[in-house]
Amino acid sequence: MARRRVAVGAGVFGVGAFVVVRTVLDFFMVGGGTLAPWDPPRRLLTVGLFGVCRNPMYIGVITTVAGWATTFRSPTVAAYACVLAAVLHLRVIRFEEPWAEQSFPDTWPTYRERVPRWFPRLRRR
């Protein structure tokens, strides 16, 4: 049973880590910026994982932490993942989305309407 838990946790961690790496690469290669606040993307990211969800990088981070919680069977790390999700949600709605609306006035409204904030749609509109 422990081997299965570790395998599932490692798999969840691996998916999360892949998502984080993929989105960081898109930030740099497609967006023309970095994660640093003083060097934000110059273009709105609407391709790759950003084409199905507006915050895939944060989903990757939360998934990675959930993988740790599963692997190590840690309620503390699981609670941390929940707190992290809540804090990131507040960050998105209070800071990042207003910044995107101001920085990309021509593309943000359409993107916001077309792409869900957290959970990809199962069917196209």
Q: Taking 60 as the threshold, does the pLDDT of residue 125 lie above it?
A: no
Residue type at position 11: G
pTM: 0.89
Is 124 domain-assigned?
Answer: no
Q: Judge whether 33 lies within some domain.
A: yes
Q: Nearest 5 degrees, angle CA 63-CA 84-CA 87?
A: 135
Instruction: With H, G, I as helix, E, B as strand and everything else as coil, classify residue 30.
Output: coil
Domain assignment present for residue 6? The answer is yes
| Cα gap 85→104, rounded to integer Å | 25
Output the pLDDT for position 124: 61
Number of structural domains in the chain: 1
Domain that holds residue 77: 2-114
Q: Is residue 123, in this structure, part of any structural domain at all?
A: no
Asked if the structure places residue 125 within a domain, the reply is no
